[in-house]
Amino acid sequence: MNILITGGAGFIGSHIAELLLAGGHSVTIVDNLSTGTTEFIPKAAQFINKDIRAREDMLALFKDNHFDVVYHEAAQTMVPASITAPAFDADENIMGLLSILEAARMSGTKKIIFSSSAAVYGDTSDLPCQETSLPDPGSFYGLTKWMTERYLALYHQFYGLHYTVLRYSNVYGPRQGAHGEGGVIYLFARALAQNEGLTIFGDGTQTRDFISVHDIASANLAALEKGDESILNISSGCETTLNELAEKMAILGGKDRSIITHGDPRPGDIYRSVLSNKKAEDILDWSPSMNLDDGLKDTLAFFMNHA
């Protein structure tokens, strides 16, 4: 297939690109390099340095290439940034999306595979979160992800554009955070690589569902020909506290618990998060293959080598 990856120079997009190329697909990457880097772009991929919000440029790109499928990974991904600058968040995540959707429907693209987020669920006691749960985002980032899902459903209804929504839990792994995008595992790995302490925002009892980027990429590959008009959680299904995570990473980094400190909670952060992945297992015939301990070793090795 002829495939476009928006944000393909970034953390997740570059891993997806590698799997698609290995599968014999033709891959084009469009990225403005605001958070991505050319270092991560596979040599076999065509690279276009453009901002997805440039509608005329996107329409020309789509009409020239006739993409079969688009992986839409380009986004503003940081919850705190969405709260301090909600208009910027919406411009990146909603207007950027519309630029891609319009180009797709005008050029005959068959399907969009979209990277959504556990942030759409917000803080809920109904755990593990299932796709039937009513979204209640507690940040503008989560809100724009949810709105994107609704846009996709309506584009299918009105224009016949197929879609699969993958709601990622907390993704981690090599290449994360090259130019700003990141999560707690990235922050801890970077700190350990630079021989710094680990700071937890809050008391550390908050939980996350950590999923390796390698498993995220394999789920995206499975969605290429499955899961049309589905919303699917892509997660480990395991709940880990930040205190447990910090201790694991300190030990892997050859440190003791004394390097762990606590700071004030961050506004907009979810307290507990764990997602059921049963629907993805049933529809995509996919399941995570990397446990947290092995994934942390893999991630920390990358950051130690790139310190």
**What residues contact residue 117 under an 8 Å CB cut-off, 6+ apart?**
141, 142, 145, 167, 168
Residue 37 belongs to what H/E stretch? none
d(CA 128, CA 133): 10
Amino acid identity of 256?
D
**Which residue out of 71, 141, 155, 172 is catalytically annotated?**
141
Amino acid (1-letter code) at residue 248: K
The structure tokens listed for 101 are 């959707």
Q: Which residue type is seen at 4?
A: L
Residue 41 backbone phi and psi in degrees, to 5: -80, 125
Active site residue 141: yes
The secondary structure element, H or E, covering residue 260 is strand 260-263
Residues taking part in catalysis: 141
